[in-house]
Amino acid sequence: DGGITQSPKYLFRKEGQNVTLSCEQNLNHDAMYWYRQDPGQGLRLIYYSQIVNDFQKGDIAEGYSVSREKKESFPLTVTSAQKNPTAFYLCASSQGVGNEQFFGPGTRLTVL
Amino acid sequence: GIQVEQSPPDLILQEGANSTLRCNFSDSVNNLQWFHQNPWGQLINLFYIPSGTKQNGRLSATTVATERYSLLYISSSQTTDSGVYFCAVPQGGFKTIFGAGTRLFVKA
């Protein structure tokens, strides 16, 4: 089955630790995205990548980092510099500019 | 940047009722998506509808791009329709702007 997978489903982090969220897609899409969702809110763009080895900051990139070494994978690292990292993180992909986006199941990150 | 407004913010329906959700956007767009976020957080694609009308079972959507709005119709609502409905539009390049959502609860 084609789709997007994210892991882990739930993640707990102590303050001061970096954590990495995984996102993999087998849809052969060029573009991938990371969004953050806070309770009762819409989605905000953290980073996006148009092609391998290229990525751009979104609206709330501070405290986050990404890499795009493979077309299928777009991991997100939440660093200790992110002041309020507790949120729901969603990964998406699309074929290209303006095309329909498809989402993974999300990762819930809680900072203890 | 482009603004996206959804209404109503909250909606409670009795099972079997029909409803219309609205998405207004402040600038011309070349595509629009409707999503359903289920209680577990998964975003499910409903429609990719830059203009015109599409139907999928009990759901249909209409986008009038020249008047900058889109409507999502839910007929004969079921409890499984509960969740949050988002519309999203592109803003230059790869950026997508999401509305704040309409929270729907369908009572049995």
How confident is residue B88, by pLDDT bands cut at 50, 70 and 90? very high
Please tell me the predicted confidence (pLDDT) of residue A97: 67
Strand partners of residue A11: A109
* Interchain contact, B100 vs A41, CB within 8 Å: yes
Strand, coil or helix: B67: helix
Please tell me the predicted confidence (pLDDT) of residue A1: 59
A2 in contact with B, Cβ within 8 Å:
no
Please tell me the predicted confidence (pLDDT) of residue A40: 86
Q: Which residue's structure tokens are 């990525």?
A: A55
Q: What's the average model confidence in pLDDT over B5-25?
A: 97
In sign, the C-alpha dihedral spanning B75, B54, B31, A93 is positive
Q: What are phi and psi of B98, to 5 degrees?
A: -100, 145
Calpha distance B8→B3 (Å, rounded):
16
Per-residue pLDDT of chain A (112 residues; tens, 9 = 90+): 569 999 999 999 888 899 999 999 999 999 999 999 998 888 999 999 999 999 999 999 999 999 999 999 999 999 988 889 999 999 999 998 678 899 999 999 999 8
Please tell me the predicted confidence (pLDDT) of residue A82: 87
**β pairing state of B43-48 and B96-98:** unpaired
Calpha distance B5→A70 (Å, rounded):
36
Nearest-CA distance from B25 to chain A in Å?
15
Average pLDDT, chain B: 94
Residue of A nearest to B30 (CA): A98
**β pairing state of B69-74 and A76-78:** unpaired
